[in-house]
């Protein structure tokens, strides 16, 4: 097949959506398919040239919405060259523009919402939600209504998405998300991490690796860690990820107030082998998000035999709980503290067993092969169907 992914940007700092497209595309290309990307980036952006798939960058685009007058004409000219088009994400022009172009063409398209219909956003940002309501009936509603299928990465995401807008119509389909297997040189990479951060060599590491963003619950983790830090002097919190606005500075100031500045290491964004090295060097991975559609980093942690501590606002929490591959807690300071204490109180033998279960859960549910094959299965199942309301 020849497939096209439509993205607002290929910038890796945007997180799991970009990485999922890159990894599934690489697997599908290795399997003999052709995968390309259409983005609203500027063609000269460094991340465009560095992206591993062929990118058609149509920028420059206007504003946060990324309006681009070249999107619809490009799709009118080229969309028929592809067996299917995948729209990744909502609320920017790449999604509405794709609907405008494809509604009159007999080109199958699928929409990956990537958690952007989670009702958490409605509760947390009511004014933004009201603004979205003003154009929902004319834009995203039609995009989902007319898609051959709307794809979700878990049953939890599919269920929650129905509660954001009462005007909702879609042919729903779940495609598990996944990640590629990590490098196998675990001990070498582990030593590489400690060479870069020698102050951590004799520590047990609690790892947070994601965007430092309000919805990720970084503040909960720092508060909860501070409550237990004195009792566990050989444990160190490592925060790895790009920072959003001044949040990093505010969190460091709070850590100083709590007296745990020296107990937290801030590495900035880690990519490639540096990221895998951090996983292999750590004892447990923590992502205390208030809202998380899937969490690619959770699958990556599991693939490295790393147990995970997540909240019940991460949409794959049921899978983690069922697989006994970590702990699930509430997205509160008390909840995260209980999760940390639960892990810290485990016997070494119990931790080792949990590491084995983490690997087993990854192998069962979250490989990149499973996700890529799920995309192909969705195309084969729905591409020829014409929905009744088309």
What's the pLDDT tens digit per position in 17-54? 898 899 999 999 999 999 999 999 999 999 999 999 99
Q: Are the C-beta atoms of residues 21 and 2 closer than 8 Å to each other?
A: no
pLDDT beyond 90 at 1:
yes
Q: 95-110: per-residue pLDDT in tens? A: 999 999 999 898 999 9
Average pLDDT over residues 214-233: 95
CA separation (Å) from 380 to 83, 148, 368, 377?
10, 11, 19, 5
Give the pLDDT band of residue 114 (cuts 50, 70, 90): confident
- Domain 186-365 homologous superfamily, CATH: Glycogen Phosphorylase B; (3.40.50.2000)
Give the pLDDT band of residue 386 (cuts 50, 70, 90): very low
For the whole model, what pTM was predicted? 0.82
Helix (H) or strand (E) segment spanning residue 87: strand 84-88
pLDDT beyond 60 at 390:
no
Gap between the Cα atoms of 310 and 330, Å rounded = 8
- The CATH classification number of 2-179+369-382 equals 3.40.50.2000
1-5, 31-35, 127-131: lowest mean pLDDT where? 127-131
State both tokens at 184: 């196998």
Gap between the Cα atoms of 377 and 21, Å rounded = 16
Burial class (CB in 10 A: 0-12, 13-18, 19+), 34: middle
Domain(s) labelled CATH 3.40.50.2000 in the chain stretch across: 2-179+369-382, 186-365
pLDDT beyond 80 at 385:
no
């Amino acid at each position: 097949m020849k497939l096209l992914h439509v993205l607002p940007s290929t910038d890796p700092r945007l997180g799991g959506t970009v990485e999922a497209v890159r990894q599934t595309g690489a697997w599908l290309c290795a399997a003999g398919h052709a995968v390309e990307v259409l983005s609203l980036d500027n063609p000269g952006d460094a991340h465009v040239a560095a992206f591993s798939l062929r990118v058609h960058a149509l920028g420059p685009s206007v504003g946060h919405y990324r309006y681009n007058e070249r999107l619809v004409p490009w799709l009118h000219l080229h969309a028929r060259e592809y067996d299917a088009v995948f729209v990744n994400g909502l609320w920017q022009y790449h999604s509405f523009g794709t609907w405008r172009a494809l509604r009159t063409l007999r080109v199958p398209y699928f929409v990956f919402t990537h958690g952007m219909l989670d009702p958490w956003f409605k509760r947390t940002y009511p004014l933004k939600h009201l603004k979205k309501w003003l154009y929902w009936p004319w834009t995203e509603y039609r995009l989902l209504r007319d898609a051959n299928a709307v794809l979700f990465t878990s049953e939890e995401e599919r269920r929650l998405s129905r509660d954001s807008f009462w005007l909702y119509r879609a042919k729903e389909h779940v495609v598990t998300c996944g990640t590629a297997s990590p490098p196998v040189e675990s001990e070498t990479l582990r030593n590489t991490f400690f060479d870069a951060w020698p102050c951590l060599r004799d520590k047990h590491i609690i790892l947070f690796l994601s965007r430092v963003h309000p919805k990720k619950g970084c503040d909960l983790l720092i508060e909860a860690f501070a409550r237990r830090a004195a009792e566990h002097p050989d444990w160190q919190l490592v925060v790895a990820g790009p920072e959003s606005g001044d949040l990093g500075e505010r969190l460091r100031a709070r850590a100083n107030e709590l007296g745990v500045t020296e107990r937290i290491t801030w590495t900035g964004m880690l990519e490639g082998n540096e990221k895998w090295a951090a996983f292999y060097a750590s004892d447990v991975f923590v992502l205390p998000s208030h809202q998380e559609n899937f969490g690619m980093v959770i699958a990556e942690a599991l693939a490295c035999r790393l147990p995970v501590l997540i909240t019940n606002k991460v949409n794959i929490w049921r899978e983690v709980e069922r697989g006994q591959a970590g702990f699930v807690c509430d997205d509160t300071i008390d909840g995260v503290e209980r999760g940390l204490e639960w892990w810290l109180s485990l016997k070494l033998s119990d931790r080792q067993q949990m590491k084995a279960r983490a690997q087993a859960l990854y192998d069962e549910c979250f490989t990149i092969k499973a996700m890529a094959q799920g995309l192909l299965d969705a195309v084969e199942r729905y591409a020829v169907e014409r929905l009744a309301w088309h």
